[in-house]
């Protein structure tokens, strides 16, 4: 019998906060810029400089922690994490060790209709590092350059409990976390720009066992898809190692997107001793309860609440409501459309259907497509009024999506107005009946499918513009 393994995953997520200035100085956090232009003596770690905490970064961290149902510390401090790497100007990172700003939170994920609560171990704040730039690959370059523009950008770390039981759950967790953080408006959450990063701790154990298996840490996963792929690979790799009578080694492994495998980076023995100690340049922080309550009171509606509201107020299905609420921009777009055209179910169908399909097809964000809510509203109105058929509407919608034109204009230009004129259609109906006498006989003999064929013939003649309901009625009347 093949043994059954259970997957155990915990995620460490790093989020760059979108404060205007860096965590300990006044340098800008703007993305990009010529190398080493968004810097000052403080974030370059010149001799004698001192850090001063950006209160906004602290506020954003508490805001996030509250949204994740965490307990906020009354007393917290920063610590130094010591290790040598040239992307760190001081060769230590100001981070938090034993007294993070927040602990013991949770968020809920939903997968295949099941809701699971995932624990959040801690939320803390630290400074981001710069980056090394190589003219070739890291092993073949004759030199490295270093850019400190990102050094000192506030970085929030969110560590989950090892509560995730599959790569799909891990992905759902990360997507939910991203949704919450976007709603809070504290980060851009762009994985491709590195403002949202994720490392994973993975292990497997025999089904029913209490103790955890030996874990590996997986790095370098740059999208939701690569997270899921990397974890699926790693889980399978570990099961195979164990199945062959081997042992999983505790180590850090890097995901190779191109090859679709994880590779060993360094073992536990090679792991750093970070020599943490309290940062003496910053005084410990006593976090004012009243301030925390003010932040709590200012929290926006979060994805779960919005989903519930869509079900309750708009009568949407759980599935549709969840899809809309998962992305703030999409949810905002939906609500703007409902304002223009107050039939939420219809709007939801179009957004979760055609719009999502096209967004995925072109791989763009809702904000990047030229279509506006009033335009979608106008389109739905035209369908309702019978000016165009639902089928034609899809063609019109695609044109709207690509060009940002008003639906009326497209219909005009392409002559797509639906024929709802009885007098105009009756002639065509008569012609079709005359030319398809056999099919008409079939219909009269009780073959319902014959009607669909005849409707199709009318549509063919009118190039799809005939009002289908009217055609149906007219055909039936004539054939009685």
Partner 1 sequence: MELYYYPAHQLHQMLVKKEIKAEEICLSVLNRVSQVEDKIKAFITLTHEQALAQAKKVDEKIARKEKISPLAGIPIAIKDNICTEGLRTTCASHILENFIPPYNATVINLLNQADAVIIGKTNLDEFAMGSSTENSAFFTTANPWDLARVPGGSSGGSAAAVAAGETILALGSDTGGSIRQPAAFCGVLGLKPTYGLVSRFGLVAFASSLDQIGPFARNAEDLAWLLNVISGHDPLDSTSRVEAPPDYTGFLVDHVRGLRIGVPREYMLEGIDVQVKQVINQALAKLTALGATAEEVSLPHSKYALPTYYLIAPAEASSNLARYDGVRYGFRAGNAVDMIDMFKKTRSQGFGEEVKRRIMLGTYALSAGYYDAYYLKALKVRTLIKQDFEKAFSSFDVLVSPVTPTPAFKKGEKTGDPLQMYMSDICTLAINLAGIPGIAIPAGFINGLPVGMQLLGKPFSEGILLQVAHIFEQNTDFHLKKPDLK
Site residues for partner 1 per CB under 8 A: 41, 44-53, 80, 82, 84, 86, 89-92, 144, 146, 273, 275-277, 280-283
CB closer to partner 1 out of 42 and 177: 42
Name the pairing type of β-strands 251-256 and 216-221: parallel
d(CA 385, CA 238): 60
* CB 54 to partner 1: min, Å: 12
CB closer to partner 1 out of 44 and 426: 44
CB closer to partner 1 out of 139 and 367: 139
Tokens describing residue 48: 């004698």
Contact pattern from residue 21 through residue 50 relative to Zn ion, giving x for each residue in contact according to CB under 5 A and a dash for the rest: ----x-x------------x-xx-------
Say if residues 351 and 330 touch (Cβ distance below 8 Å): yes
CB closer to partner 1 out of 81 and 124: 81
Q: Which residues, 6+ apart, have CB-to-CB distance to 407 below 8 Å? A: 375, 378, 379, 382, 388, 393, 396, 397, 400
d(CA 284, CA 83): 23
* CB 144 to partner 1: min, Å: 7
Q: Which does 146 bind (CB under 5 to 8 A by kind): partner 1, Zn ion, none?
A: partner 1
Instruction: Report CA torsion sign: 58, 59, 62, 67.
Output: negative
Q: Which does 408 bind (CB under 5 to 8 A by kind): Zn ion, partner 1, none?
A: none
d(CA 215, CA 247): 11
Residue 70 makes contact with Zn ion by CB under 5 A = no
Distances (CA, A) of 262 to 171, 221, 253: 17, 10, 6
- 475's enclosing H/E stretch is helix 468-479
Applying CB under 5 A, the site for Zn ion has a residue count of 5
Residue 153 makes contact with Zn ion by CB under 5 A = no
* CB 90 to partner 1: min, Å: 5
d(CA 151, CA 128): 5
Q: Which does 27 bind (CB under 5 to 8 A by kind): Zn ion, partner 1, none?
A: Zn ion
Q: Which does 43 bind (CB under 5 to 8 A by kind): Zn ion, partner 1, none?
A: Zn ion
Q: Which does 53 bind (CB under 5 to 8 A by kind): Zn ion, partner 1, none?
A: partner 1
Say if residues 279 and 80 touch (Cβ distance below 8 Å): yes
d(CA 374, CA 299): 29
CB closer to partner 1 out of 50 and 297: 50
* CB 19 to partner 1: min, Å: 17
The owner of tokens 């089928």 is 391
* CB 251 to Zn ion: min, Å: 35
Note the residues at the interface with Zn ion (CB under 5 A).
25, 27, 40, 42-43
């Amino acid at each position: 019998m093949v043994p059954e393994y259970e997957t155990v995953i915990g995620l460490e997520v790093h989020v760059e906060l979108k404060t205007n200035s860096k965590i300990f100085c006044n340098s800008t956090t703007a993305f990009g810029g010529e190398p080493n232009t968004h810097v000052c003596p403080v974030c370059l770690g010149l001799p004698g400089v001192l850090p001063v905490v950006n209160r906004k970064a602290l506020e954003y961290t508490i805001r996030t922690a509250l949204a994740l149902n965490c307990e906020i510390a009354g007393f917290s401090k920063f610590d130094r994490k010591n290790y040598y790497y040239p992307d760190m100007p001081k060769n230590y990172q100001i981070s938090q060790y034993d007294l993070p700003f927040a602990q013991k939170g949770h968020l809920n994920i939903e997968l295949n209709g099941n809701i699971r609560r995932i624990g959040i171990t801690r939320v803390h704040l630290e400074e981001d590092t710069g980056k090394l730039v190589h003219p070739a690959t890291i092993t073949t370059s004759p030199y490295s350059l270093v850019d400190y523009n990102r050094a000192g950008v506030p970085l929030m770390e969110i560590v989950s409990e090892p509560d995730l039981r599959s790569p799909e759950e891990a992905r759902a967790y990360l997507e939910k976390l991203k949704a919450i953080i976007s709603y809070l408006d504290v980060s851009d959450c762009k994985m491709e720009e590195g403002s949202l990063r994720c490392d994973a701790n993975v292990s497997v154990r025999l089904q029913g066992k209490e103790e955890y298996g030996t874990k590996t840490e997986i790095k370098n996963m740059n999208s939701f898809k690569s997270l899921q792929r990397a974890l699926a690979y790693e889980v399978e790799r570990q099961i195979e190692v164990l199945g062959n009578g081997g042992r999983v080694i505790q180590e850090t492994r890097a995901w190779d997107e191109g090859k679709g495998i994880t590779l060993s980076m360094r073992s536990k023995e090679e792991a750093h001793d970070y020599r943490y100690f309290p940062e003496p340049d910053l005084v410990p922080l006593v976090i004012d309860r009243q301030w925390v309550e003010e932040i709590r009171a200012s929290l926006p509606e979060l994805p779960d609440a919005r989903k519930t509201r869509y079900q309750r107020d708009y009568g949407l299905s759980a599935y549709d409501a969840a899809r809309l609420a998962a992305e703030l921009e999409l949810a905002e777009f939906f609500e703007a459309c409902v304002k223009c055209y107050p039939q939420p179910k219809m709007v939801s169908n179009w957004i979760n259907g055609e719009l999502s399909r096209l967004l995925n097809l072109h791989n763009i964000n809702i904000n990047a497509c030229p279509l506006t809510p009033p335009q979608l509203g106008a389109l739905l109105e035209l369908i309702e009024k019978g000016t165009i058929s639902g089928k034609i509407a899809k063609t019109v919608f695609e044109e709207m999506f690509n060009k940002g034109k008003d639906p009326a204009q497209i219909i005009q230009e392409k002559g797509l107005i639906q024929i709802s004129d009885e007098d105009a259609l009756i002639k065509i109906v008569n012609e079709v009946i005359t030319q398809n006498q056999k099919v008409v006989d079939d219909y009269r003999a009780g073959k319902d499918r014959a009607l669909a064929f005849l409707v199709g013939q009318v549509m063919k003649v009118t190039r799809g513009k005939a009002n289908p309901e009217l055609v149906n009625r007219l055909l039936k009347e004539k054939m009685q």
